[in-house]
Structures are given as structure tokens and as C-alpha cells.
Amino acid sequence: MRKIYTIILLLFLLSACGEYSPSKHDVVNSHGEIENLGLLEKFIEDVSLKKDSEIRVVNYTEEGDPIIHDLNYSNDKLTTKIDTREDEYGEQLVMEDVCESIKKIGKNNQAIYQLEGCKGEEEVKYVLVIDND
């Protein structure tokens, strides 16, 4: 009987290994429900003051898969890393880049947080888009 309980526990633990669980320090966008937006605002303020800072933004897809976006400002350098490996229908990539700035823009009833002056394929990278309906 003890073996059966051990096997069941092992199977439960293995099935939970693939699920991502955001930290209480992450900015989380779950289909427009935003948690910890103030942390992103603080990150933008830190960057404008040239103060070292980092933040993780987790945007969930329609299917419920996380796309993890790490931002780091250190030594006058703003870096971004977007991890789509948890997105079942995504590109399964980790993309890194260096950008010049991060801004919040109000446009068409939306608040758009974006990186600008990026060196990679896309000069502008979206961090978070919030509909203000």
C-alpha cells in the first residue's frame, strides 16, 4: 500500500513540474487582469533616474500559457529577455536584446508600456498593453 501512495505522489509531483507559477514580485497580465502594475511603474521611474532595477512581466496567452519578459537596467544598460518556451503554441525561444528606453504611452483607450530603440529585429517591443475600457 505504501508503494502505491509513493507512486501516486511521484506522479503528482512530476505532472506539476511544467507549470509556471509567478512570484508575488512579478507584474502579471492574465487576460486584462493586471497584478502589481505599480512595480512596472517603479521600474520605469528607476530607469529614468538611472538607478539599477529589474522586473519580470508575465503575460498569459488566450490558452493560459505564460510568456515571461524579464527587464533589467544596470550600468546604464537596459536589457530585455522574452521567454516563450512555456507557450505551447509559441516559438519556443528565448530572445534577448538591448534597448534605449522604456515608456508608457496612452493611445486609443490603451496604456502601452514599450521598449524603444532596441537593437534587434524590432526597434519597439511591447512589454504590456492594457485596455482602458
Return mean pLDDT, the chain. Answer: 88
Is 88 exposed, middle or buried (CB count within 10 Å of its CB: 0-12, 13-18, 19+)?
exposed
21-38 pLDDT tens trace: 999 999 999 999 999 999
Q: Is residue 8 over pLDDT 60?
A: no
C-alpha dihedral, 103 to 107 to 109 to 115, nearest 10°: -30
Q: Please, which pLDDT band fits residue 3 given cuts at 50, 70 and 90?
A: low
**What local confidence, expressed as pLDDT, does residue 133 receive?**
72
Looking up cell 534605449, which residue turns up?
100
Q: Are 77 and 92 in contact (CB under 8 A)?
A: no
Scanning the structure block, which residue is given the C-alpha cell 530585455?
Answer: 80
Give CA–CA dist 24/29, Å, rounded.
13
Read off the pLDDT band of 105 (50, 70, 90). Answer: very high
- pLDDT band at residue 2 using 50, 70 and 90 as cut-offs: low
Question: Domain total for the chain?
Answer: 1
Sheet of strand 110-116: strand arrangement: 101-107, 110-116, 125-131
Q: Is the predicted pLDDT of residue 6 greater than 50, yes or no?
A: no
Tens of pLDDT, residues 41-96: 999 999 999 999 999 999 999 999 999 999 999 999 999 999 999 999 989 999 99
Q: Which domain holds residue 114?
A: 2-131
